Amino acid sequence: MLDKLILYMGFPFVRYALIVGVLIALCSSLLGVTLVLKRYSFIGDGLSHVAFGALAIATVLQLTNKMIIVLPLTILFAILLLRKGQNAKIKGDAAIAMLSVGALAFGYLIMNLFPTSSNISGDVCSTLFGSTSILTLTKADVWACGILAVIVILIFILFYNRIFAVTFDENFANAVGTKVNLYNLLIATVIAVIIVLAMNLVGSLLISALVIFPALSAMSILKSFRSVTIFSAVSSMICALVGIIISILAGTPVGSTIVAVDCILFGVCYLIGRIKG
Amino acid sequence: MALLTARSLCVGYEGQAVLSEINFEINAGDYFCIIGENGSGKSTMMKTMLGLQSPISGSIEFGDGLIQNEIGYLPQQSVVQRDFPASVFEIVLSGCQNSLKKKFFYTKEHKALAMENIKRMGIEDLKDRCYRELSGGQQQRVLLARALCATKRVLLLDEPVAGLDPIVTEEMYQLIKQLNDEGLTIIMISHDMVAVKDYATRILNVNDMEGVSC
């Protein structure tokens, strides 16, 4: 088995997949804690569907670089969703549900109306579940992913204290003059970037898992924000690595394998948390 | 000069006045209580004082070099906080966020200040404990220590004893009294008429908005 692994490591596209996979896993886990605690878990889900719809548009337009459409649209909706949450005429969760099924339906509709290849269901399936697209990454994709990932990580580290403050207590932060709206906007934008990034890895239906599971695993056994953040980042990277290696060796779909590993880790952490009390 | 002056202040939401013609002065060292029943507009007034919403008319003026962002605020607990994985120290340290200014990270001085206020609240032994595992009274002390990191002069407490049992409530009042004796100006929102009478030096009753009684 080790021989097989070493053999595969000889191929550049496998190495690319590993690097990108681990970077994306790291990014997506960082804001997980904030999302879970702010009750925004579903925003990730809603946005991933928006990203799917945007991707459908980009596919129909036959753009070579789909990011040009997908990224701005997802960011726009992330900001809109957060705004809605604040002065809710339509309640936040209903707005997200509306948006996500709407985007999903329109995305599928557009792809069917203007088919660009003969295998529509294959296209749709790989956008939703990621399939093997990660193994077909080019060097340019890896660089793009790498740069975005580094930006996300830098933003998170620099604004770590503010993100903590805004997550723990918006009212207090507001009262002492922290620009809460600005940081919420920043958080929304970063989430959108992460979702677009992670879509390459696990497909749009499974992204939320990548964002939420590491955070939940960490939260069930650890007690400080810093340790929770570090643990979820590290465990997310390890799960992605293990998932990708298993998928290469066993020939399973990349995205769902990674998410399955994340699920197992969550189960273990939850049990440990329960036993420790 | 008064720290905080309200002049024919009118507060409310979206142009709808909840309370109007409010006039009061809060001086350094006061123990100022705002009492009223639920829905009487106390919270709206408090948000206006903190600058979270703007007054409909009239004004709140800050004097004696006090800046709005330098009020130490003890909010009521939110749902989010109940399962928040954060250590006591992390939370108290976040009280220093208004003195971060343009910096990204807390300095040694900030950490020392957080530690000092943890000691002041007598929760040293809880420093590394997880916030969600503490009792209601302990949690209030943590949030009070955080508020103290944000201010040197004025504390604004929003129903500080809500949900606490009678013994802990009494402890909390003693603690607040002690801070007042140490020279901090206290502004407290409450609907507990009886207790307030024992401690407050001045009371504003928003149920009968006639003005300040002493």
CB contact under 8 A, A164 and B86: yes
CB atoms within 10 A of CB B213: 9
Tokens of B49: 């004082």
Residues of B in contact with A218 (CB under 8 A): 85
With H, G, I as helix, E, B as strand and everything else as coil, classify residue B13: strand
Q: What percent of chain B has pLDDT over 90?
A: 19
In a domain, B108, yes or no: yes
pLDDT tens-digit series, residues A237-262: 999 999 988 988 888 888 889 999 99
ipTM reported for the complex, 2 dp? 0.86
Closest-CA residue to A215 (of A167, A258, A266, A255): A266
**Would B119 be classed as within a structural domain?**
yes
Q: Which residues in chain B touch residue A172, judged by CB atoms under 8 angstroms apart?
A: 73, 75, 94-95, 146-147, 150
> Rounded to whole angstroms, how far apart are CA atoms B107 and A161?
12
C-alpha B130/C-alpha A225 separation (Å) is: 9
Q: Please give the torsion angle defined by the CA atoms of residues A92, A96, A97 and A101, in that order, rounded to the nearest 10 degrees.
A: 160
- Please tell me the pTM assigned to this model: 0.85
Provide the domain count of chain B: 1
Name the helix (H) or strand (E) containing B204.
strand B202-205
In a domain, B34, yes or no: no
Does A159 lie at the interface with B, CB-CB under 8 angstroms?
Answer: yes
More confident residue, B185 or A38: B185
For chain A, give every domain's residue range. Answer: 2-276
Question: In this structure, is residue B208 part of a structural domain?
Answer: no
Radius of gyration of chain A (CA): 19
Answer yes or no: do B73 and A172 touch at CB < 8 A: yes
In percent, the amount of chain B with pLDDT more than 70 equals 96
Residues 110-149 of B with CB under 8 A from A: 128-130, 133, 146-147
In chain A, residues with a C-beta closer than 8 Å to the C-beta of B52 are 171, 174-175
Flag whether B18 is in a domain.
no
How far apart are the CA of B53 and the nearest CA of chain A, in angstroms?
Answer: 10
Q: Which residue has the higher pLDDT, B67 or A27?
A: A27
- Does A158 contact B at CB distance below 8 Å? yes
Which one of B14, B66, B97, B131 makes the best mutation probe of the A interface by having the most chain A beta carbons within 10 Å? Answer: B97
pLDDT per position as a tens digit, B102-135: 888 999 999 999 999 999 888 989 988 999 888 8
Mind listing the pLDDT tens digit of every residue in chain A (277 residues)? Answer: 778 888 888 888 788 888 888 988 999 899 888 888 877 777 778 888 898 899 888 888 887 777 788 889 999 988 887 775 555 555 667 777 888 889 889 988 988 888 777 777 777 777 777 656 566 677 777 888 888 888 999 999 999 999 999 888 888 898 888 888 889 889 888 988 888 888 877 787 788 888 889 999 999 999 899 999 999 999 999 999 999 889 888 888 888 899 999 999 999 999 999 998 6
Domain that residue B117 falls in? 76-152
Tokens of A138: 């080019």
At A90 the pLDDT is 55
Q: Which amino acid is residue B94, in one-letter code?
A: S
How far away is chain A from the Cα of B187, in angstroms, using its nearest Cα? 14
pLDDT exceeds 70 at position B172? yes
- Residue B80 domain-assigned (yes or no): yes
CA A276 centroid distance within chain: 30
Closest Cα partner for B102 from A177, A49, A16, A269? A177
Q: How far is Cα A205 from Cα A110, in angstroms, rounded to an integer? A: 18
- Residue B123 phi, psi (nearest 5): -120, 30
Query: What are the helix and strand counts (H, E) for chain A?
Result: 14, 0
- Judge: A169–B150 Cβ closer than 8 Å, yes or no: no
A-B contacts (CB, under 8 Å): 94
Q: Indicate the length of chain A as a whole number.
A: 277
Instruction: Assign domain A2-276 one CATH number from 3.40.30.10, 1.20.120.1730, 3.20.20.240, 1.10.3470.10.
Output: 1.10.3470.10
Give the pLDDT of residue A217.
94
Q: Which two tokens stand for residue B189?
A: 């929102």
The answer to whether the Cβ–Cβ distance between B78 and A171 falls below 8 Å is: yes
